[in-house]
Structure 1
Amino acid sequence: MKAEDLPEVIAFLIFFAVSMLVTVTVWHRPAYIVLLVGSCGVVLLGLRHGFTGPELGRMFVAGALQAVPVVIIVSLIGMLTGVWKAGGVIPALMNWSFDFIRPQGFLLTIFLLTTMVAMLLGTATGTFSTIGIVLAGVGAVMDIPYPIVVGAIVSGAFVGDRGSPLSSTVNLIAAMSGCDVRDFLRHLWTTGAPGLVLTAVFYFVLDQVYSQEALNVTVIENFRVLIVSHFRLSPWLLLPPALLAVLAVARVPAQYNILTVLLGSAAVCGFVQGLTLLDIGSAAVFGYQQVVGTKEAARFISGGGLLPLIPILITLFAATGFNGLLEGTGITRLVLAQFLEDVFGPAQLLKLTVAISAAVLMITSNQAVSIVVPARMLRDKLQDTGASELALARAIADSGGVLAAVVPWSTAALTPALLLGTKVYAFIPYAMFCWLQPLVELTFLRCGRYARTSAAVVNQTR
């Protein structure tokens, strides 16, 4: 597409963004509806500007195929969750966790605990599917609004996703920005530490509001009776989550890690609970469907499985296919090129990096794309201004890297909503780390706190 097509393209993207916002947050309809309709809109634009139908079809398919690795991981997590629930792994962990519940500082505790586990595992999704589900179940017995509990878990998970040496997000940002990952990890905490402290203060304040009557002993006892009556509790049930953590620390690729744990979990749960292969297969595909106790209890003891994930999987394919059309037709390049025309100083360019990463995330609903696109476009231009690759990497990490969890139609937000059993728009306001981090980054940029190249530092001191 050409520069004269920009007004038409901008009008389409604004209409798309507004439609997505209304569809997801007001009408509460799946994001893939807008993504598929938006893809049809891009196809019409492409046909108007000289692209053929087969060309546009190949663009969509090529983009959609990029989702396959993520689809495999998300599918395996859903199956693992179903098996863990049917086999008593998650109920057992919840039951044992009840002994450590204290209403004072509960939100701060689960934020810090989730942060530590996420730093160890290096994956937000893995954190949600392990400690996240357990803490969410424990939080259900507290008289604290459940979306706040989920928000604290999501915040902690994304501290690790942003700052763990094992995080694929960290390694992707470092690779695309051209900086050493060890230097990048050290530089990340110049803004990460203030964001972490401010988030901890936020949950501490909320704890003061809700801690007075947060612990409902009767509900806890009812949960425990329910769990003990439906499952045989055994120390063997600790083996699957322990294996998941060990393989994650050993940096086994996520899909092989989860598949190994899934097979091991099937054996352990079959042995402990006496489940047949049919029971395990049903839980993996359809989820654990046992109706138990109250509706609240059923939400955490039942669930999981592959089929309930179908909306997320469709969203993944639709989002990456839509992005394939945007890149293939040149829309992404055309729009972003206009932003770069009047940018001169390094701080201004870094602020623009934050804005571009966030905008790409909102349009494509894909965290990886929001990292790759600004890194590719701005890396050489930023070096010409005297800013270091570390500055570019940090700006991306503090924008698209964390905002993915609070864009309602992104996979990073849909996954915890499904795994933890809440509406995506309900927990988003309370995922405070993800909101604060871009603000901390912009504040640092305004104060001139960013990494510079050696030559730029020498020139500045003369």
Structure 2
Amino acid sequence: MKKTRKIKFPFLTAIIPFIIMIGAMIFTVVQLQADPHVPLIVGTIAASFIAWRKGIKWKEIEEAVYQGIKLALPAILIILMIGLIIGSWIGGGVVATMVYYGLQILSPSYFLVSIALICGVITLAIGSSWSTMGTLGVAGMGIGMSMGIPAPLIAGAIISGAYFGDKLSPLSDTTNLAAGIAGTELFDHIKHMLITTVPGYVIALIVFFFLGRSYGQGDVNSQNISEMLAILNQEFVVTPWLLVVPAAVILLVAKKVPALPALTVGVLLGFLAHVFVQGGSMSGAVNTLFGGYSLSSGNELVDDLFTRGGIESMMYTVSLVLVAMAFGGVVEQTGMLKSIVDQILKFAKTPRSLVTTTVGSSFFTNVAAAEQYMSVILPGRMYANAYREQNLDARNLSRAVEDGGTITSVFVPWNTCAVFILATLNVNPLEYAPYAIFNYTVPLLAIIFAQLGIGIVSSSKSTQSSGNHLRKTQSETVKEG
């Protein structure tokens, strides 16, 4: 695949596709209450037309689209695998078992803070926020909603915990990516992340603690829980042995088995549980993998929670990822995004403004390129020289792109992370956004700390030399690849 030729776009020209896309998005999603696919296609057409008018050949624009989609392929595979695992775990009674015992162990008053802590610890161990949300998150939604807690609030607690663990896990792909792009050691990067990540998580837990207190009283919750327990016992075979299935997946990922093989084992175990534990037919279990599980118990809440999963349920998400990355590919590969970032960089004359600008640019990249990996890669590459020129340690850059990029990806409705959460937890980003407390507290703290000069580390000669050597090695590796 040929590399698309980049040219230097004037700032006002480069920003036109973004204005068109965001304007179309606001009108379509807010006014028409329609899906975001068409606005992204409109933005892609606008960006392609402008690139063509500037002399980039259509074949090169096509290559830019392919490059953007290529970046999303790993995410698409994970999305499909999560669809399989949700279907097989519901059909196999695994989710029902987790919900059943969770309802008896977790108190409504402390549920929000508990689920945020559990998701944080599990993700810290396995390094994947998506895997946590697609497994424990689904069970957590069932437990919390049966207690009478609003779905957006539960989703916010799950997301906050999952992303906290993801940021501090040495097994996380984005954490490794940020350290590698910036040219700093992985554990130096993780230690530097503690400056904003830990306070943000503590604030989130405190808020969830007080919000959860209002759901600790009332007979309605007890009635809901009792009714759900009865339905679960009636519709599924509930046994502690089924907890071996999620435990096996967590153990595999903790042992550094890649996500796809580990999740494949989870799908296989869920499939076997569907046939041999729940007594389902082989054809029914296979159909569940594709079309998801369907439950008709007569209880609307329970039916909504357990009627989901399968490859088919993820097709909306996959299609949105494809069109989003087509737009991101055109604006990034042709040089439009670089022109905008270069213009922004002119205002970053001091270390404090540079860190703040990096956080903002990473969020903007999430909006523009619709992919959290791009929010790390692009600012990480484009601002590296500026950090060296201002004698700033690479850890400042790696933390800034994480604080502004990876964590905020959940707020952009057309970003791959947000559409994954919508497909998995069944909550719209606009609904859970106010409650994803960790995810907006951390970037705010990053900006405040930057303005106060907190956590800004100057570069020593030895560190700078080591960073240069690492960047040189990475450059050679990319060339070889």
Distance 1:453 1:334, change over 3 A: same
Could you say which residue in structure 1 is the equivalent of 2:474?
Answer: none
Matched, 1:65 2:70: yes
Query: Partners in 1 of 2:166 and 2:23 — Cα distance?
Result: 29
| C-alpha distance in structure 1 between counterparts of 2:444 and 2:22, whole Å | 22
Q: What is the identity, as a one-letter code, of the residue corresponding to 1:143?
A: G
Contact 1:152–1:203 (Cα < 8 Å) also in 2: yes
The superposition leaves residues 134-159 of structure 1 with CA deviations (integer Å, 9 ceiling, x where unpaired) of 11101011222221111111111111
2:477 aligned partner: none
Instruction: Say yes or no: does 1:196 pair with 2:201.
Output: yes
Q: Which residue of 1 aligns with 2:191?
A: 186
**Structure 1 residue 132 displacement after superposition:** 0.8
Residues 207-246 of structure 1 aligned to structure 2 (within 5 Å):
207-213=212-218, 216-246=221-251
1:169 aligns with 2:146: no
Of 111, 114, 118, the residue aligned with 1:106 is 111
Aligned residue in 2 for 1:323: 328
SS of structure 1 residue aligned to 2:114 = helix
Distance 1:214 1:180 in 2: 53
| TM-fit CA distance, 1:24 | 3.4
Q: How large is the RMSD of aligned CA atoms in angstroms?
A: 1.9
Q: Does structure 1 residue 453 correspond to structure 2 residue 459?
A: yes
Amino acid across the alignment from 1:330 = G
> What SS does the aligned partner of 1:30 have?
coil
The structure 2 residue matched to 1:45, chosen from 46, 50, 67, is 50
Matching residue within 306, 314, 327 for 2:311? 306
1:460 corresponds in structure 2 to none
The answer to whether 1:389 aligns with 2:394 is yes
Structure 2 letter corresponding to 1:84: W
Output the CA distance in 1 between the equivalents of 2:129 and 2:301.
Answer: 24
SS of match in other structure, 1:399 = helix
Q: CA deviation at 1:18?
A: 3.0
TM-score (norm 2): 0.91
Q: Does 2:344 match 1:339?
A: yes
Q: Which of 287, 293, 299 is matched with 1:294 structurally?
A: 299
What is the distance in 2 between the residues matched to 1:215 and 1:189?
A: 41
Q: In the alignment, is residue 367 of structure 1 matched against residue 394 of structure 2?
A: no
2:145 aligned with 1:140: yes
Q: Name the CA distance, whole Å, in 2 between partners of 1:4 and 1:333.
A: 9
Quick check: 2:138–2:424 contact (8 Å CA) kept in 1? yes
For the structure 1 residues 66 and 11, does the alpha-carbon distance in structure 2 shift closer, same or farther, using more than 3 Å as the test? closer
CA distance in 2, matches of 1:297, 1:4: 54
8 Å Cα contact 1:24/1:409 also seen in 2: no
Deviation at 1:355, TM superposition (A): 1.1
| CA apart distance, 1:204 | 2.0
Shift of 1:456: 11
The answer to whether the Cα contact below 8 Å between 2:347 and 2:353 also exists between their aligned partners in 1 is no
Write the letter of the residue equivalent to 2:56: F
Q: Identify if the C-alpha distance between structure 1 residues 285 and 448 changes in structure 2 by more than 3 Å, giving closer, same or farther.
A: same
Unmatched runs of 5 consecutive residues or more in structure 1: 458-462
Contact 2:115 2:158 in 1 (8 A): yes
Asked whether the equivalents of residues 91 and 270 of structure 2 are also in contact (C-alpha less than 8 Å), the reply is no
Amino acid at match of 1:153: I
CA contact (8 A) 2:9 2:336 kept: no
| Worse-matched range after superposition: 209-218 or 238-247 | 209-218
How far apart are the structure 2 equivalents of 1:204 and 1:32? 37
> What is the SS of the residue equivalent to 1:38?
helix
Query: What is the rounded CA distance, in whole Å, between the counterparts of 2:219 and 2:460 in structure 1?
Result: 53
Q: CA deviation at 1:94?
A: 0.6
- For residues 152 and 348 of structure 2, what CA distance do their matches in structure 1 show? 40
SS in 1 for 2:15: helix
Matched, 1:439 2:432: no
Shift of residue 268 of structure 1? Answer: 3.0
Percent identity over the alignment? 27
> What is the aligned length?
457
Matches of 1:257 and 1:438, distance apart in 2? 32
CA drift of 1:211 comes to: 3.1
AA aligned opposite 1:95 = Y
For the 8 Å contact 1:87–1:269, the answer to whether it is kept is yes
Separation in structure 2 between the aligned mates of residue 379 and residue 286 of structure 1, nearest angstrom: 46
Whether the 8 Å contact between 1:102 and 1:215 is mirrored in structure 2 is no
Q: Which residue of 1 aligns with 2:383?
A: 378
Mapped partners of 1:346, 1:154: distance in 2: 31
Normalised TM-score (structure 1): 0.94
What is the Cα deviation at residue 23 of structure 1? 3.0
TM superposition shift of 1:284: 0.7
Q: Would the aligned equivalents of 1:124 and 1:160 in 2 still touch at CA under 8 Å? A: yes
Contact 2:410 2:429 in 1 (8 A): no
- Further displaced range: 168-177 or 200-209: 200-209
